[in-house]
Amino acid sequence: MQVDMVSINKQFPEAFDQSSKPLLAHFGIDAPDIMISDLVLDSRDVAIHKAFIAINGHALDGRDFIPQAVSLGAKIIVAQCDDMANHGHVEMREQSVIVSFYQLAEKLSELAGHFYQFPANLMSVIAVTGTNGKTSTVQLTSQLAFLMGEQAASIGTLGAGMYSSSAEFQAQQNTVNTTPDAISMQRLLAEFVNEGAFQVALEASSHALKQNRIKALKTDIAVFTNLSRDHLDYHGSMAEYGLAKRLLLKQPGLAYAVLNANDPEHKNWLANIPETTSVVLYGQNINAADMPSEYQYCVANNVRYTAEGIALSLKSSWGDCELRLSLLAEFNVANVLAAICSQLCLGKNIKQIAYIVQKLKPVAGRMELYCRQNHATIVVDYAHTPDALEKALLATKQHCHGKLFCVFGCGGDRDVGKRSLMGEIAERLADHVILTDDNVRSENPKDIIQDILSGCINPEQILVEHDRKTAIKIAAKQASAGDMILVAGKGHENYQIIGNQTLAYDERQFVALFQEGKKV
């Protein structure tokens, strides 16, 4: 089975003005005939013809802001109700019509889909989920599509946008969450269709899947990268976390499930594959002959790590070839394999892919190398989970001929249990560890450091410097040419959250200037 490439409908509207009556009729509601120009979740964005959608969210109850929406002149407010008997109830409050909608949060993706005319139906949609690797896989997937001559967009941690003529990702909008809310997601896809995108790759976080943010999105390909400890403060257990990830298999129109065969969790995915969905397995150091005959596959063997990047031998259901990548780290092999599988499912040629992949650039803040002659090399990576930190350190070791330094911290108001694990990993794999502050938020940074140190055998040998820039400078001063310094946790982020302040801090820019010998 191959996903047919769609032709963009040039008549797809740039504006979505429509009446509330037919829009809500899809859900059995007889609403007044009121013209709507857009849907908004934030009452501060309300205007006369923008419908305020008041849902009971995870952090806030939008219904508490109905008075504000009324005062701002909202003509229509669609509000979640808790009793099915009240579904479709209409009341007037001053000049505003308030329509009650049962299970609105669950059906919001579908409501937004009807309003924006289901833009996902006019493009190929690739949704990527997993604890680690989502951002890199999404970016590499879209970058690969672009390099092969296709207008491609991506949505995720780095923002929402399209690739430019220089094959650089241009974030046109920032995303507050890894996966935007249901309305923003449908709106973004509609905008991408209008800009000529044929393909979009998006990050599907476990929170988003659990909260139905992409529930009504036609999804051609679901990609599973891996599963390791994270977000247990939200999901409660690894079993529930894994179950949330597998909700991606319930997406409408799912043609392919692309699964990482190196991760044991992929077997749980195989046990839940819909009958109409084909499976593609990818992985490293797997004998192609051992692959189950009912699945397609794409496996890498004879992987070599060099100063210039990675070389490997690829065997797949579509043919065999040799690949060269200008990327670092073993896990980037997995990320590239997932990207390749997605493009193969969409009908791309394996030989063309083999030629193009060597042009792939590293994703911003993901194992980015900053070199300086006669000085240590610095690697900036977003790793902020135990599994990601371990992989980043092991990857850096593969390319390091001297001592390995690690500079990192942990975020405040987040999973406390992972801190000691990350301390143990850093102490075990790095020759020198310097602990510093990440996004401490409302916590005392000293408490966070103590949590990290509790996982270390020799905490007295670990240096603590709360100022992040100073910590990097100390590591660089202690290191020599041939050594490598992994600075983990911030990656692409251009801010640092301390208390209730979000301060400007671009670690990539700071390290780049520092390695150029600039005074920073």
Count of CB atoms situated within 10 Å of the CB of 473:
16
- Per-residue pLDDT of 172-190, as tens digits, reads 677 767 899 999 999 999 9
Q: Please, are residues 76 and 34 in contact by the beta-carbon 8 Å criterion? A: yes
- Per-residue pLDDT of 3-47, as tens digits, reads 444 443 444 566 688 999 999 999 999 999 999 999 999 999 999
pLDDT at 425 over 50: yes
Query: Tell me, what's the pLDDT at 9?
Result: 42
pLDDT at 2 over 50: no
Q: What is the rounded distance in angstroms from the CA atom of residue 10 to the CA atom of residue 193?
A: 9
- pTM for the full model? 0.79
Q: What is the rounded distance in angstroms from the CA atom of residue 173 to the CA atom of residue 163?
A: 13
Query: Tell me, what's the pLDDT at 309?
Result: 79
Q: Please, are residues 48 and 70 in contact by the beta-carbon 8 Å criterion? A: no
Q: Which DSSP symbol is given to 359?
A: G
- Per-residue pLDDT of 269-305, as tens digits, reads 999 999 999 999 999 999 999 999 999 999 999 999 8
Q: What is the 3-state secondary structure (H, E, C) of 36-79?
A: ECEEECCHHHCCCCEEEEECECCCCEHHHHHHHHHHCCCCEEEE
**What is the crossing angle of helices 330-345 and 134-147, to 10°?**
50
Query: Tell me, what's the pLDDT at 366?
Result: 87
Mean pLDDT (the chain) is 93
Provide CB contacts within 8 A for 267, sequence distance 6+. Answer: none
Count of CB atoms situated within 10 Å of the CB of 410:
28
Q: What is the 3-state secondary structure (H, E, C) of 107-130?
A: HHHHHHHHHCCCHHHHCEEEEEEC
| Structure-block tokens of residue 186 | 């449908």
| 453 in a labelled binding site | no
| 133 in a labelled binding site | yes
Handedness of CA 406, 515, 332, 138 (dihedral sign): positive
Query: Tell me, what's the pLDDT at 37?
Result: 96
Average pLDDT over residues 134-160: 94
Query: 141's torsion region: left (phi>0), alpha (psi -120 to 50) or beta?
Result: alpha
| Structure-block tokens of residue 248 | 């991606």
Q: What is the rounded distance in angstroms from the CA atom of residue 293 to the CA atom of residue 510?
A: 50
| 41 in a labelled binding site | yes
The residue length of the chain stands at 520
In 346-478, where does DSSP find H-type helix?
Answer: 350-356, 386-399, 417-429, 445-453, 468-478
**What separation in angstroms does the CA of 453 have from each of 233, 433, 498?**
21, 11, 21
Classify strands 256-260 and 18-19 as parallel, antiparallel or unpaired: unpaired
Provide CB contacts within 8 A for 449, sequence distance 6+. Answer: 409, 435, 464, 466
Q: Please, are residues 169 and 364 in contact by the beta-carbon 8 Å criterion? A: yes
Query: Tell me, what's the pLDDT at 59?
Result: 83
| 206 in a labelled binding site | no
pLDDT at 488 over 60: yes
Measured distance between the N- and C-terminal CA atoms of the chain, rounded to whole angstroms? 55
Classify strands 309-316 and 501-504 as parallel, antiparallel or unpaired: unpaired
| 178 in a labelled binding site | yes
Q: Please, are residues 73 and 95 in contact by the beta-carbon 8 Å criterion? A: yes
Binned at pLDDT 50, 70 and 90, residue 412 comes out as very high
Query: Tell me, what's the pLDDT at 8?
Result: 39
| 43 in a labelled binding site | yes
| 80 in a labelled binding site | no
Q: Please, are residues 258 and 282 in contact by the beta-carbon 8 Å criterion? A: yes
Q: Any bridge partners for residue 18, and if so which?
A: 36
Query: Tell me, what's the pLDDT at 165?
Result: 64
Binned at pLDDT 50, 70 and 90, residue 314 comes out as very high
Binned at pLDDT 50, 70 and 90, residue 329 comes out as confident
Q: What is the rounded distance in angstroms from the CA atom of residue 260 to the CA atom of residue 391?
A: 16
| 143 in a labelled binding site | no
| 306 in a labelled binding site | no
| Structure-block tokens of residue 170 | 């241009």
Query: Tell me, what's the pLDDT at 305?
Result: 85
| 136 in a labelled binding site | yes
Domains of the chain and any CATH numbers: 18-104 (3.40.1390.10), 116-300+330-352 (3.40.1190.10), 368-515 (3.90.190.20)
| 129 in a labelled binding site | no
- In which element (H, E) is residue 375 found? none
